Structure formats: structure tokens, C-alpha cells
Structure 1
């Protein structure tokens, strides 16, 4: 029986190994630089913008095709249950002059086939259409740059959100360790008769009050990671581990020049896109105005037709006919449609001009706000760095005094809270500086 039992156990283990999920999911290490690269490859908004640029390239090709000849082949088969009728003067068959004679002509089966060619010689709107398509292609490229800058900014900010949440969690865990140590010390002093029961209860309450915040921050870490993965275009089930840290490095910040507004206007893809849109609207006016001009084309046709009362195609006669010529189309009256379209194009151009002026004013304000936010966060970092040092020293002194019975438990709690708050404020200042720097890079048009 034992060999059979062993075989059953081995069989069960094999099935579990083959069908079960791995005990440890593979974790992807992720730096901010790698996160940006992944987003540029996988972000769906960026993929849509890339497809839009490809579509604009095809629009240029379409616009150029209007200057090329058009060749069309056609074929037709007709069956006449009653043959076609022709009319001749009645005098041909002995009828009166005011009478017409009718004759059935042709066969019951008719085949017609041919090739028609048309080549535009003069159409005022073709060149405007090509220029408009090329401008639209360039505007789509700037739109792609705009989306790329937005994606890079959002990924970096989402990455920083994860980092600060992890650091906040670490601070709370450190605070919990300090409070747990204080609780152990309080119980020890209580056993020695050197501390009151109230102090021990306060230490216990302070310790337990930290646990819900730690639980909330653990959940917040997972939420921010999910947002980061969605922004990058990764599967939400994939595990990631951030490799960078939340640290202040003022050497990595590039200070804008004296004329930051001019620099931003020259670099921002949104400004370039609106400038191209304004040019596009001017071409649209020219394109609609060209509808008033005559159009000249060269045309030609090669045709063959045959008729018979049977379907033996080998016995058919296929005579050819052809012509070449010129065709002129002169617009005379279109129910005011052309005038209305021209006015619409003019209004659209005026709208784009107003939008461009408004955008430049927004850029001016964004540059000013961005520089102010970076400088304010930098000053807070310098201030909070000193505050953290003082708070750490104050906590150590208060803890030693409390162990000696000189300081109260309330003083120790205040010192610990001040230390945690000082570290949290410094952490928030570093986060604000890095976030403001990322936002300023976007405002200045540095992200490409």
C-alpha cells in the first residue's frame, strides 16, 4: 500500500506544479527614466497621436493626387426584351411630311466598354489643397510632440506620487517604532515605580493611533502604483518596484534664461501647432475662394460596343470609337454656398488668431507661476532641512530626560510628533520641488 500512497502523493504534487500559479510573481525594477521609455512605447494616447500623424501623411498624398490624371474603365451589358426604337421622317417610307416612321434597331443583347481619361490642366484649388495638407501634416507632428510632453510629464508626476507615498509610509513606520520603544520603556519604568499608569496608557494610545494611518498609506501605495502603470500602458497585474529615491538635487535643475517667456514660446509645441493652424486656415480661405475660378481639363475616351440577338461573343463585331478634347467648367451660381464657405473659413482664421494670442498669455502666466513654485519649494527645503536637524536633537534630549524622570510623557509625545512633522514637511518640500521642476520643464517646452 505504501508505494501506491507515495505514487499518489507524487502525482498530486506534479499536478499542482504544472497547473498552480507561481509562488512569487516576477517584479519589474523601474527607474523614472525606464518608466518614461515604457510610456513612450506603450501609452495609448501617444499611439493614437502617432496614428494621427500617419493619417496626415496620407492626406498630403491625397491632395497631390488631384493634380494627377484620372483613368477609369467601364463595362456594361444590356438586354432589350423590346429592341430600341429610332425615328425617321415619314417621307422616307411614303408617309406625310408631318409624320414620323419608327424602326426597331440593334440587337437584343448589347455590350459597351471603354476607358476614360481626365487630366486637370488648370484648377486653382489644387496647389492650395497641397499646401493645406502639408501644413496639417506639420501641425499633426506638433500635436504628437504635445501629447508626448504631456505623457512624459504625467508619468514623472505619477512616479513621484508613488515615491512620496512610500516615504510617508516609511516615516510613519519609523514613528511607530519610536512609539513602540517608548511604550516598552514606559512599561519598564512603571514596573520600577518610576512612571505612572497614565503615562503608559498614553504611550499605548499613541502607538495604536499610528496603525490606521499606516494601513491607509499601504493602500495608497498600491493605488499610486496602479495609476503609474495605467499611465505607462502596463498591465495592472504586473508588479513593479521603484528604484529611484525622493531626493533634492539642485544641480540637476536648469534655470531658465533672462527671457524665459520668449524661450517657452519658441519651444512649446502647442504654440507651434496653433501657428500652423492659423496658416492652415488661411489656405482654407484660398481653397474656398478657388471654387469661384473656372476649371480646365483634358479629356479622352476609347470605347467599343457590340450588339447581336445571340450571346456567341466570338461572332460579335467590336468596332472602336475614341475622342480627345478639352473641358471647361465655369461656376455661375451655387446658391451662395461658396460665399458662405469663404466666410466660415475667415471666421475660423479669426478664431485661431484669438486662440494663439490667448495661448501666449497663458504661457506667460504658466512660466511665472512655474518659476515661483520651484523657488518657493527650494526655500522650504533649505528651511525644513535645518528644522529636521533641530527636531532630531530635541527628540533625543527629551527622550533621555524622560528616561531620567525629568521630562513628562506629554513632552516626549510632543517631541516625537514634532520630529515626524518636520520630516514630513521636508519630504513634502522635496516632492513639491521635483513636481514643480517637471511641470516647469513642460511649460518651457523642454520635453520632446
Structure 2
């Protein structure tokens, strides 16, 4: 007979190794707070909301006057061919000495006319202009205002999508948090079982030394201690893995230990019909589906508005100038302005409007069909979750009863063994049954908690 010193050493090291995990704690409320603050999906949803708000402002801008300012300048230089620049010369020089004063005056006027008609060898022109244009949509068949309503509805859908993602994040946080509590309790139960088996081994060892127990009893007690060692290590690894998953979910926040207990929720007596009523009233997906239906109605209205006329105002004010050099004198500047109203109505569009209307009708019917299908699936989901919750409560009641029986059986087996009325196998079996009953009750309690949360989620209730 020998004491498995190395075995005890390793187990003690394992136990010591998990002590740092129990330095400081995190609560469920803090976990939810961190998950909501650091979740990237929620951050992306917030960006979508901000973009949808900008889309509304962009669509509203089409209802306001549109102003634009234009300014331009041009410098041109032309070198004319010699054939175009020649002229008759100075006509006055060709007059005779006896020509009258009237003839000289006429010749001088003719010289001026020729100079204005015949281009110079090189000509330079400088032109500058600026104008302000304004347009105002008066009527477009309701396209712009309906477009604003579509974007407003899309914003509401984005907000609903954010709330839906938020509830899913909270549910996932609770699932991981309670999983961590479960694995922590499983670890503790396994450690307690090992400690109990080791205590029994020490008792059998003393009895064996006094000749009150056989070598087989000692070997059997030692094997039971050895058998529980890998179970302890597995429980430690399971706990660490769940903690790692929770840390990642919380944005890589460091967790030393979790605070809280796995406690049965308050039992709620709710019928399946009541669940269906809550589903219709609260489920975010159904609200989003109704808003998508409204968008398709708006799209149908826009398609029909292509038959209607559009009316708009436009105006323009401009100033311009032209000279051989940069014009600076106000005498070289002119101005212009105009104001008008435009009316346009489609006469024939190649049947595109008719096809747009038909497509909009089909889209509306498709949305109605999808919404009905979604409601059927959500009803089935609620029914399944309602049945699952009822099953978990029945399991909890059974496991509670089993634990009571296992505790009584262990107490009886211990008394019988200590009074040498029972055998060691009977005690070991009672220990195993007690451990199994505790684990099964913990699992049943966890399943009941999560089934409750899942039903609440499927009913559209706020989880936090």
C-alpha cells in the first residue's frame, strides 16, 4: 500500500492555480454594460442610424431653393491673314489739289469706314462674366415629399435594427455569464467530491494500518481519488474556456472571477395564447416588417406620380464685360436677368411608368407574403420556447427530488460504513450519486434560466 503523493501534489497545484481567478469579480449587470459599450455590431448599427439621418436631410434639401454662382473669363488673340488686312489706303491722299472741302470730308469718312471693316493684323479680346442661378421646385407629383417619408421610415427601421441587435447582445451576454457560473459551480462540486474521496481514502488508510480494512478497500479508495483528478482538471479547463469566451464578448475585458449564483427565476404562469398576444405587440421584427410594407406603399405612390406634371421656377442674374484689355471702366460692363416657370408632363415614356407601377405592386405583395411567413415562424418559435420552458421546470422539480434522495442515501451509506454495516463500494456509489445529482440540478437550473430568457426574447420583452 502506498500514498499517491504525486497525485495529491498535482491536485493541490491545480487548486492553487485557480486561486488567482478569485481575486476580484464582475457582476451580470457590469457584463451587460461592457458588452453594450464595446460591441462592434452595435457600433456599426449606430453608424447606420447616423447615415439614415443624413439621408433625410439630403432628401429635404430638394424642397429648398437651389442656388449656384458661376464666374468665367476669356482672353483671345487672333492673327489675321495679310489678304484680310489690306485696304485701299488713305483715300484723302488720292484727291486732287482742286478737290473741294466736301470731298475731303467724304474721303475722311470713307477712311474711317474702311478702318472699321478691315481687321488689324492682330486682335486681342478680353471677356469676363459672372451669374447667379436659382431654381425652386414647386410641384413634382409628390416625389420629393414621399422620398422624405421613405427616408424617415428607413431611419425608424435602423433604430429598430439597433434595438434588436442590442437585445441579442444582452441575451448572448447572459448566456455566457450563466455558463461561467455553471462551470464555476461544476468545478466546485467536482473539487468537493475529490476532497470527500481523499478524506475517505485517509480514513481507510488509517483503518488499514489498524487492520480494520482490507488492502482491497484501501486500493479501491485510492482509485476513487485518482479517478476524480482528471475530472477536476477538466472542470478547471471548462471554466477557463468559458471565461475566455466571456472576456472576448466583453471587448477583451480582463475577468478575474464572476460574482453571482445560479438561482431559479420567478416562475410565470403564462398561456400560449398570451404569448402570441405579446409576440404581436412587442416583437421588433414585426414592427420592422410593417415599416417595410409602408415603404413599398410609398414606392408605389412614387411610381404613379410619374404620370403627374412637374413645375419649377428658375431665375438668373448676370454681369458681363468685353474690351481689348481687362475692362475696368463701368462703361464696358453690362448685365442681364431672367425669371421663368417651367411645366413638364410626360406624354409617352415607352411604357416604363406602367411597368414601374406593376413592379411596385408586386413588391408590395411580396412584402405582405414575407411578413405573413415571418409571423408564422415567430409563432412557431414562441411555441417551442414555451414548451421548452415547461419541460425545464419539470426537470428541475425532478432533479430537486433526486438530490434529496441522493443526500439521504449518502448519509445512510456513510453511517452504515462507519458502523461497519456497509461495504466501501456502497459508500463510493452513494458519493457518485450525490455528485451526479448536484451536477444535474445545476444543469437543470441553468437550462431553466436560459429557457426563461429565450422565451422573453422571443416575446419581444426587454431583457435588461
Same structural fold, with TM-score higher than 0.5 when normalized by the shorter chain:
yes
- Partner Cα distance (1:33, 1:159) in 2: 10
Closer/same/farther in 2, CA of residues 416 and 318 from structure 1, 3 Å limit:
farther
Q: CA deviation at 1:400?
A: 2.8
SS in 2 for 1:306: strand
Alignment of 1:275-314 (within 5 A): 275-311=290-326
Q: What RMSD, in angstroms, separates the aligned Cα atoms of the two structures?
A: 2.9
- Partner Cα distance (2:303, 2:294) in 1: 14
- Identify which of 17, 31, 37 aligns with 2:33: 37
Alignment of 1:243-254 (within 5 A): 243-250=259-266, 253=268
SS in 2 for 1:118: strand
Superposition TM-score, scaled by structure 1 size = 0.82
Q: Is the 8 A contact 2:272 2:383 kept in 1?
A: no
179-188 or 323-332, larger mean C-alpha shift = 323-332
Q: CA deviation at 1:382?
A: 1.6
Q: CA deviation at 1:338?
A: 4.4
Alignment of 1:133-144 (within 5 A): 133-144=151-162
Matching of residue 172 in structure 1 with residue 182 in structure 2: no
Q: CA deviation at 1:26?
A: 11
Superposition TM-score, scaled by structure 2 size = 0.80
390-399 or 208-217, larger mean C-alpha shift = 208-217
Matching of residue 48 in structure 1 with residue 65 in structure 2: no
Which runs of 5 or more residues in structure 2 are unaligned?
A: 1-19, 81-116
Matching of residue 213 in structure 1 with residue 228 in structure 2: no
Q: CA deviation at 1:205?
A: 2.4
Q: Number of aligned pairs?
A: 406
- Partner Cα distance (2:176, 2:329) in 1: 76
What CA deviation, in whole Å up to 9, does each residue of 1:164-221 have, x standing for no partner?
Answer: 1111111111111111112112222222223232332232222222222222222222
Closer/same/farther in 2, CA of residues 164 and 26 from structure 1, 3 Å limit:
closer
Q: Residue 77 of structure 1 aligns with which residue?
A: 73
What CA deviation, in whole Å up to 9, does each residue of 1:271-326 have, x standing for no partner?
Answer: 10011011111111222332343211000011122233334657883321110001
Q: Is the 8 A contact 2:319 2:334 kept in 1?
A: yes
- Partner Cα distance (2:338, 2:206) in 1: 114
Closer/same/farther in 2, CA of residues 107 and 413 from structure 1, 3 Å limit:
farther
Q: Residue 99 of structure 2 aligns with which residue?
A: none
Q: Residue 139 of structure 2 aligns with which residue?
A: 122
Q: CA deviation at 1:396?
A: 2.1
Closer/same/farther in 2, CA of residues 240 and 25 from structure 1, 3 Å limit:
closer
- Partner Cα distance (2:442, 2:226) in 1: 24
- Identify which of 432, 436, 442 aligns with 1:421: 436
Alignment of 1:392-411 (within 5 A): 392-411=407-426
- Partner Cα distance (2:428, 2:133) in 1: 94
- Partner Cα distance (1:225, 1:344) in 2: 52
> If you compute each CA radius of gyration, which structure gives the higher value, 1 or 2?
2
Which runs of 5 or more residues in structure 1 are unaligned?
A: 1-23, 85-100
